[in-house]
C-alpha cells in the first residue's frame, strides 16, 4: 500500500451534527446571526430551520464561538420530547442550563466560626448554582411562568455587572416542543411567554431555536406574537459553487493522495442535490473507493449505483419503514408531481391519483393521511396550507423504490 494513503485519513464526516472538514456556503446565515448579536434590546430571536441533512446543528455549533467572542454567555442543549411533557420540565431545563454559567457567580459571603482549639472563622461563599436557582424558583409564589421569570430577573441582576452583552439560550431539535391542551400543560407557550416578558424588561436573554420546518408554524400557533418575535432563517441546499467547495476543499492538502476529476465532482454535485449530509456521505464513499483503486493501479471513478443503494439503506429506509402500504401508495403519487421536491397541495395529489390509481384518493383521505405522515416525519405542512417532503430527495428515493419493485 502507498504510504501516503495511510498518512492522510478520509476527511469526510457524514453523521448527525458532525462538523464537516469545510463548512461551505453559510456566510449569509452567520452574518444574520451576528446582526442579532448587536441588539441592545432583544427585538428578534432566531429560528434556524430546514430539512434534515442541511446542516442546522453544525451551523448552530459555529454560532457559539461567535457569540462568546462578542461577549455573550451561551447555554443550551438538544430538546428531547421529555422536556415537552409539562411546564415544570421546561422550567427545570432553563434552570439547569443557566446554572452552567451562573455557578461561579458569588451572591453572598458569610463567616462561620470554627469551634475547637483554633477558634478561627471560615468564609462561606454562596453561588448561583443549580441548588440556589431551584430554591429561588420554589420560593417564588405563583404559576410556573411567574417563578421562572423571577429567577431569570434575579440572574440578570447578578450577571449585569460582569461585562457581558447577555445570555443566549440555544436549543436544537426544538420541533419537539408542543403544548398539550388535553393535559392542561403548555410548555411551548410558557417558553414564548417567559422570553417575551423578560425581553420587554430589557433583559438581554435571547432564544436561538433550530428544528425542522414544522417548528415555526408551531410557534405561531402557540402564540401569534411569535411571528414578530423571531427572525426565521431557512437553510436550503448548497448552490453548485458551494457544493464544489464542500467536495474539493477537504482534499486540497498536498498530503492528500486523492484528486477528484471535474466530471466526478459534477456527478457528486448532481447525486447529492447540494445537501451537505449527502455530500459528506457520497464523498466519504468515493474517497475510500478511490484509495483502493489507486493502490491497485486502476483508474478510479464514482460508483454511483452502489453509493446510492447504500444511501437508500442507511438514510431513507428507516424513514420509509414508518409508512403503511397505503401511505406509501400516496407518497408514490406525490413523487410523480413535477413540484414534489418543493410544495404541493392536496388537490394536486387528488387529481394525480385519479390519473394513476384504480382506487384514487379523496380530498378528506389525503388530508387525513398527510396528517399521519407529518407525525411520522415524512411530510410537513407550512403556514400557507401547502405540504412538502420533510426528507430531502425523498421523491427520487420513492421513484427508485418503484423501479426496483416493478
pLDDT tens digits, residue range 145-160?
A: 999 999 999 999 988 8
- Assess whether pLDDT exceeds 80 at residue 254: no
Question: How does residue 1 score in pLDDT terms, banded at 50, 70 and 90?
Answer: very low
Q: Which fold has domain 322-405?
A: Arc Repressor Mutant, subunit A (1.10.10)
Residue closest to 302 by CA, chosen among 280, 316, 285: 285
Stretch 334-353: mean pLDDT: 92
Tell me the pLDDT of the chain averaged across its residues.
Answer: 89
Q: What is the pLDDT of residue 87?
A: 94
**Among residues 56, 50, 58, 49, which one has the least CA distance to residue 20?**
58
Question: How many C-beta atoms lie closer than 10 Å to residue 355's C-beta?
Answer: 9
Find out whether 168 and 203 touch, Cβ atoms under 8 Å.
Answer: no
Are 192 and 231 spatial neighbours (Cβ–Cβ below 8 Å)? Answer: no
pLDDT tens per residue, range 67-102: 999 999 999 998 888 888 899 999 999 999 999 999
pLDDT at 24: 94
* Nearby residues of 343 by Cβ (< 8 Å), 6 or more positions away: 382, 386, 387, 388
User: How large is the average pLDDT for residues 11-21?
Assistant: 87
Q: What confidence tens digit (pLDDT) does each residue in 113-143 have?
A: 555 555 565 555 678 899 999 999 999 999 9
At residue 108 the predicted structure's pLDDT band, cuts being 50, 70 and 90, is low
The mean per-residue pLDDT over the stretch 313-329 comes to 91
CA–CA gap between residue 86 and residue 367 (Å, rounded): 29
SS (HEC) of the chain: CCHHHHHCCCCCCCCCCCCCCCCCCCHHHHHHHHHHHCCCCCCCEEEEECCCCCCHHHHHHHHHHHHHHCCEEEEEEECCHHHHHCHHHHHHHHHHHHHHHHCCCEEEEEEEECCCCCCCEEEEEEECCHHHHHHHHHHCCCCHHHHHHHHHHHHHHHHHHHCCCEEEEEEECHHHCCCEHHHCECHHHHHHHHHHHHHHCCCCEEEEEEECCCHHHHHHHHCCCHHHHEEEEECCCCCHHHHHHHHHHHHCCCCCCCCCCHHHHHHHHHHHCCCHHHHHHHHHHHHHHHHHHHHCCCCCCCCHHHHHHHHHHHHHHHHHCCCCHHHHHHHHHHHCCCCCCCCECHHHHHHHHHHHCCCCCCHHHHHHHHHHHHHCCCEEECCCCCEEECCCCHHHHHHHHHHHHC
C-alpha grid cell, residue 387: 405540504
**C-alpha distances out from residue 220 to 35, 192, 215, 227, Å:** 23, 10, 9, 6
Fold of 27-99+145-234: Rossmann fold (3.40.50)
Q: Estimate to the nearest angstrom the gap between the alpha carbon of 355 and the chain centroid.
A: 38
pTM strictly above 0.85 = yes
Residue percentage of the chain with pLDDT more than 90: 67
Between CA 298 and CA 293 the distance in angstroms is 5
Residue 37 backbone phi and psi in degrees, to 5: -65, -20
pLDDT(183) > 60? yes
Res 42 pLDDT > 90: yes
Look at residue 109 and tell me whether its pLDDT is greater than 70.
no
Q: Where is average pLDDT lowest: 93-102, 192-201, 295-304, 354-363? A: 295-304
pLDDT attached to residue 123 = 59
Residue scoring higher pLDDT (310 or 377): 310
Mean pLDDT of 186-206: 96
**Cβ(85)–Cβ(187) under 8 Å?**
yes
Whether residue 279 contacts residue 55, with contact meaning beta carbons closer than 8 Å, is answered with: no
Instruction: Give the phi and the psi of residue 17 in degrees, each rounded to 5.
Output: 80, 10
**48 near 319, Cβ under 8 Å?**
no
Instruction: Check residue 3 and give its pLDDT.
Output: 47
Q: What is the mean pLDDT of residues 235-257?
A: 91
Sign of CA dihedral 292, 297, 302, 308: negative
* CA–CA dist 191, 226 (Å, integer): 11
Give the model's confidence band at 111: pLDDT under 50 very low, under 70 low, under 90 confident, else very high: low
pLDDT range class, residue 241, cuts 50, 70, 90? very high
Please, which residues bridge with residue 77 across strands?
171
Per-residue pLDDT of 367-395, as tens digits, reads: 999 999 988 888 988 767 789 998 899 99
Tell me what pLDDT residue 114 has.
55
Handedness of CA 15, 21, 22, 27 (dihedral sign): positive
- pLDDT at position 50, please? 93
Q: Is the pLDDT of residue 112 over 60?
A: no
Q: Is the pLDDT of residue 45 over 90?
A: yes
Average pLDDT over residues 43-50: 96
The count of other CB atoms within 10 Å of the CB of residue 348 is 19
344 has which bridge partners? 387
* Distance in angstroms (rounded) separating the CA atoms of residues 7 and 291: 12
Amino acid at each position: 500500500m502507498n504510504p501516503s494513503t495511510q498518512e492522510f485519513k478520509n476527511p469526510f464526516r457524514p453523521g448527525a451534527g458532525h462538523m464537516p472538514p469545510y463548512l461551505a456556503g453559510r456566510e449569509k446565515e452567520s452574518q444574520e446571526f451576528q446582526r442579532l448579536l448587536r441588539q441592545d434590546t432583544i427585538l428578534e430571536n432566531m429560528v434556524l430551520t430546514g430539512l434534515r441533512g442541511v446542516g442546522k446543528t453544525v451551523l448552530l455549533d459555529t454560532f457559539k464561538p461567535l457569540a462568546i467572542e462578542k461577549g455573550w454567555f451561551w447555554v443550551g442543549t438538544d430538546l428531547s420530547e421529555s422536556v415537552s411533557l409539562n411546564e415544570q420540565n421546561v422550567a427545570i431545563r432553563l434552570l439547569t442550563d443557566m446554572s452552567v454559567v451562573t455557578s461561579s457567580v458569588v451572591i453572598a459571603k458569610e463567616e462561620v466560626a470554627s469551634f475547637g482549639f483554633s477558634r478561627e472563622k471560615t468564609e462561606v461563599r454562596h453561588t448561583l448554582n443549580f441548588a440556589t436557582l431551584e430554591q429561588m424558583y420554589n420560593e417564588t409564589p405563583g404559576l410556573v411562568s411567574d417563578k421562572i421569570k423571577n429567577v431569570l430577573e434575579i440572574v440578570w441582576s447578578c450577571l449585569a455587572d460582569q461585562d457581558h452583552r447577555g445570555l443566549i439560550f440555544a436549543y436544537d431539535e426544538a420541533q419537539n416542543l408542543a403544548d398539550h391542551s388535553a393535559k392542561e400543560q403548555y410548555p411551548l407557550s410558557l417558553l414564548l411567554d417567559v422570553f417575551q416578558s423578560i425581553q420587554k424588561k430589557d433583559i438581554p436573554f435571547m432564544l436561538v431555536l433550530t428544528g425542522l420546518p414544522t417548528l415555526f408554524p408551531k410557534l405561531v400557533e402557540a402564540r401569534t406574537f411569535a411571528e414578530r418575535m423571531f427572525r426565521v432563517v431557512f437553510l436550503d441546499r448548497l448552490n453548485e459553487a458551494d457544493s464544489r467547495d464542500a467536495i474539493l476543499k477537504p482534499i486540497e492538502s498536498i498530503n492528500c493522495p486523492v484528486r477528484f476529476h471535474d466530471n466526478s465532482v459534477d456527478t457528486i454535485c448532481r447525486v447529492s442535490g447540494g445537501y451537505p449530509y449527502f455530500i459528506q456521505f457520497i464523498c466519504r464513499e468515493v474517497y475510500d473507493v478511490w484509495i483502493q483503486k489507486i493502490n491497485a493501479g486502476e483508474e478510479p471513478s464514482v460508483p454511483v449505483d452502489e453509493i446510492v443503494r447504500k444511501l437508500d439503506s442507511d438514510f431513507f429506509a428507516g424513514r420509509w419503514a414508518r409508512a403503511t402500504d397505503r401511505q406509501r401508495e400516496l407518497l408514490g403519487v406525490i413523487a410523480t408531481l413535477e413540484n414534489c421536491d418543493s410544495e404541493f397541495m392536496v388537490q394536486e395529489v387528488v387529481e394525480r391519483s385519479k390519473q394513476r390509481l384504480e382506487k384514487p384518493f379523496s380530498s378528506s383521505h389525503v388530508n387525513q393521511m398527510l396528517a399521519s405522515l407529518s407525525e411520522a416525519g415524512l411530510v410537513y405542512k407550512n403556514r400557507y396550507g401547502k405540504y412538502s417532503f420533510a426528507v430531502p430527495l425523498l421523491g427520487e428515493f420513492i421513484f427508485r423504490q418503484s423501479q426496483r419493485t416493478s
